[in-house]
Amino acid sequence: MTINQTFVLGPIENNSYVLYDENSRQAWIIDPAMEPAPLVDFLEKHQFTLEKLLITHGHFDHYYGLPYLQKMLTTPFDVYLHPEDLALWQSGGGARHFWGQSLEVPKPTKLLTDGARLSLGETELIVLHTPGHSPGSVTFYCPSMATAYCGDLIFFHGIGRTDLDGGSFTDIQTSIQQKIFTLPENVTLLPGHGPATTVGEEINNNPYL
């Protein structure tokens, strides 16, 4: 059985998610944020092996924890990003804009494509390319758990900023309408910041759409 554990980490209160398979003891992390020590503590305490690091988009607060994980964990793991956010990643993911400092982290080892399927035990995640907040933003949809990890695409009664580099209000509206609002209404949306919501709640009550 695959289980999700949510962590709220760092000064921008990012949601980092650990998805783990109880049988194989393999784990994935979605968006390792700033101040990531609790993620490593959790993996070690339960003797999980980190197999994949999935990044929803190339903003620094969503992958800042990567060097720390590489330093602390002994087994290697892959880092997944959509290619349209590679340039953003390589320019520091906006860290310079927010902090006036750049950020040097290793490059992703695997590139995500729309419709790709990733398997953790018997659980499958489907990659949905959902641009708008950034050109390479993706959502990881898990049909069997009825969850979708949507990064900064859509929040509880909100949507992601589109005024940053590569952002597009038209694209974010299209992504949400075509890729998120077409999912079953009971699907829980797990965003990059703030509380979880559901597809149905946002179809009915999101003021931006």
Q: Which residues bind Zn ion (CB under 5 A)?
A: 59, 61, 152, 192
- Minimum Å distance from CB 19 to Zn ion? 19
- Minimum Å distance from CB 185 to Zn ion? 25
Residue nearest to Zn ion (CB): 59
Q: Measured between alpha carbons, how far is residue 103 from residues 30, 59, 63, 118, 165 in Å?
A: 19, 11, 10, 28, 16
Q: Between residues 20 and 93, which has the closer beta carbon with respect to Zn ion?
A: 93
Q: Between residues 21 and 152, which has the closer beta carbon with respect to Zn ion?
A: 152
Q: Between residues 38 and 200, which has the closer beta carbon with respect to Zn ion?
A: 38
Choose among 172, 187, 34: nearest CA to 125: 187
- Minimum Å distance from CB 142 to Zn ion? 20
Instruction: Give the contacts of 74 (CB within 8 A, at least 6 positions apart).
Output: none
Q: Between residues 120 and 136, which has the closer beta carbon with respect to Zn ion?
A: 136
Instruction: Give the contacts of 62 (CB within 8 A, at least 6 positions apart).
Output: 14, 31, 32, 33, 55, 56, 93, 151, 152, 192
- Minimum Å distance from CB 171 to Zn ion? 14
Q: Between residues 85 and 202, which has the closer beta carbon with respect to Zn ion?
A: 85
- The order of strands in the sheet holding 2-9 is 2-9, 14-21, 26-30, 49-54, 78-81, 110-111
For residues 204 and 202, what is the distance between their CA atoms, to the nearest angstrom?
Answer: 5
- Minimum Å distance from CB 56 to Zn ion? 8
